[in-house]
Structure 1
Amino acid sequence: MRPRVTLHMMSSIDGRINTVGWPVSADCHDAYEMLHRDLRSDAWLVGRVTMAEFALGEMRPMLADRIYPRQTWKAAAAGMAPYAVYLDRSGCLHLNRERVNGDALIAVLTTNVSDDYIAELHRDGISYIFAGDTELDLHRALHILRTEFGIETILLEGGGAINGAFLRRDLIDEVSLLILPIADGKPGVPTTFDHNIAGARPLELISVNILRGGLLHVRYQVMSADHAPGGRAVAPPAS
């Protein structure tokens, strides 16, 4: 049992997602955030690098005065969706806050993180779960988020490596893509899906909407990994 996962991203027409240097207006970001709200999910989930953009102030490391059990901990801010979830395998991100955009934070960790880092999360009021010993088990992470936090729907919002990892493990049910009227073409920059060694995945179109400024909002259903050419098998809804 896991939440339903919708990938929600903004990209150029060639799939690049790093907007640095793009002639992007505020309207593009406003459109993305409007769609984020309209999709009405219980949580949004990103990787460590993406969440680092929301860090406040200087790093304030802690020295733990005890050994913490490797089990779920819910901060005072937890209890009501929406949540802001981030993946941090090694415990490297220092946010200095308990919420982002009003949403309570949840860290997804491995049991290999230090007690010092767990003490820092307690100080900052960030809930956490454990999903794996040295590598993150995304299936387990989603299961815990649903069973222990009541999260039934998630917006996956990058970066490209995280998106690729979810796709590779058959953990994306739908794609919501805001395509900007921009051609990038730079080599070696993040794309919507990176490091998907499992190979290409067929999609089934749900809808296309033309927005102001030449933006396109495209939605797809992700087909099952064993989808055969010419078939109509669609990944079943998350249960």
Structure 2
Amino acid sequence: MTSDSEDRPRVIVHMASSVDGRIQSRRWGGIEVGSLYEEVHASLNGDAWMCGRITMQGYTRGQPTDDSDPTPVPRVSHIVNRAAPGYAIALDFGGRLHWGARNAIDGDHVVVVLSETVSDAHLNALRASGVSYIFGGRDTIDLAMALKTLRREFGIRRLLVEGGGKINGSFLAAGLVDELNLLLAPAVDGGSGVPALFDHEGQTTPGIRLKLRNCEALDNGFVRLRYDVIRDVDAP
């Protein structure tokens, strides 16, 4: 079994994919996964869930924004709510998402992970929105640092990482994935270049070994696979 770090959350990658590992569900011939995905999401008892910028755009679309205030802002964590029932973590290193009047998603308080190079105007807009934010580095994102900050500032112990594939791949390459919870759909995508479960764009990294914790047949042909990541110290 993997051992949990005391200074960062346990990271559980929670995804749905076709049998060949592709994650664009609209290409699965009309198979509906949303309600099942959310049901399993709830069963994992995460303190927070995290997605990348592209996924999070769906929650911010059409929201008004005002990035016109250039008042200097120190590059330190801005914490609005430490007692939320849950947290929606947006990886938006370049500061491109505009939340407007929205600071929660289905009751989960929004926390944005940013680069220290984002503009003062953007930070002021986030403050005006009531959104919390932390920093994950300056020129390149340091996921380990961001996780430690989430643990320290918000008490997050279990984090569900829910894509897309590039975000999942970055966590995998950084050695930060502890568990994989996969809903396998009864479909084959077959497309070349279609986003995959793990799509790391950086330097090639060694694969990881998994230990099967549970395999469960679900309704409508879905299979739930739950794995722990085997660390070197866990290997026999």
Structure 1 outlier segments of 4+, above 3 Å: none
Q: Deviations over 1:44-93 (max 9, x none)?
A: 01111111111141552321241011111112x54223100011111011
Match of 1:159 among 164, 174, 188: 164
User: How many residues are treated as equivalent by the alignment?
Assistant: 227
Match of 1:215 among 219, 222, 225: 222
User: 3-state SS of the aligned residue for 1:20?
Assistant: helix
Q: Deviations over 1:10-60 (max 9, x none)?
A: 10000000122332444x211110000000010001111111111141552
Given that residues 82 and 153 in structure 2 are in contact (C-alpha distance below 8 angstroms), is that contact kept between their aligned partners in structure 1? no
1:61 to 2:63 alignment:
no
1:130 to 2:135 alignment:
yes
Inter-partner Cα distance in structure 1 for 2:65 and 2:155: 31
Residue number in structure 1 paired with 2:53: 48
Match of 1:205 among 194, 201, 212: 212
Given that residues 20 and 189 in structure 2 are in contact (C-alpha distance below 8 angstroms), is that contact kept between their aligned partners in structure 1? yes
Inter-partner Cα distance in structure 1 for 2:125 and 2:67: 5
| TM-score, length of structure 1 as denominator length | 0.90
Shift of 1:189: 1.5
Change in Cα spacing, 1:55 to 1:48, as seen in structure 2 (3 Å) is same
Letter in 1 for 2:91: L
1:175 to 2:177 alignment:
no
| TM-score, length of structure 2 as denominator length | 0.91
Give the superposed CA RMSD.
Answer: 1.6
Identity %: 41
User: 3-state SS of the aligned residue for 2:139?
Assistant: coil
Letter in 2 for 1:233: A
Inter-partner Cα distance in structure 2 for 1:72 and 1:24: 43
1:90 to 2:97 alignment:
no
Inter-partner Cα distance in structure 2 for 1:233 and 1:127: 39
Letter in 2 for 1:71: V
| Equivalences for residues 72-151 of structure 1 within 5 A | 72-75=77-80, 77-96=81-100, 97-151=102-156
Inter-partner Cα distance in structure 1 for 2:96 and 2:199: 22
Inter-partner Cα distance in structure 2 for 1:166 and 1:74: 24
1:22 to 2:24 alignment:
no
Q: Deviations over 1:136-164 (max 9, x none)?
A: 11000000000111101100100101101
User: 3-state SS of the aligned residue for 1:175?
Assistant: strand
Given that residues 215 and 224 in structure 2 are in contact (C-alpha distance below 8 angstroms), is that contact kept between their aligned partners in structure 1? yes
Letter in 2 for 1:219: R
Inter-partner Cα distance in structure 2 for 1:59 and 1:33: 28
Given that residues 49 and 162 in structure 2 are in contact (C-alpha distance below 8 angstroms), is that contact kept between their aligned partners in structure 1? yes
Match of 1:4 among 10, 14, 24: 10
Inter-partner Cα distance in structure 2 for 1:160 and 1:103: 23
Residue number in structure 2 paired with 1:237: none
Consecutive unaligned residues of structure 2, counting only runs of 5 or more, are 1-6
Residue number in structure 2 paired with 1:233: 235
Consecutive unaligned residues of structure 1, counting only runs of 5 or more, are 235-239
User: 3-state SS of the aligned residue for 1:117?
Assistant: helix
Inter-partner Cα distance in structure 2 for 1:194 and 1:35: 23
Inter-partner Cα distance in structure 2 for 1:204 and 1:59: 46
1:34 to 2:36 alignment:
no
Residue number in structure 1 paired with 2:4: none
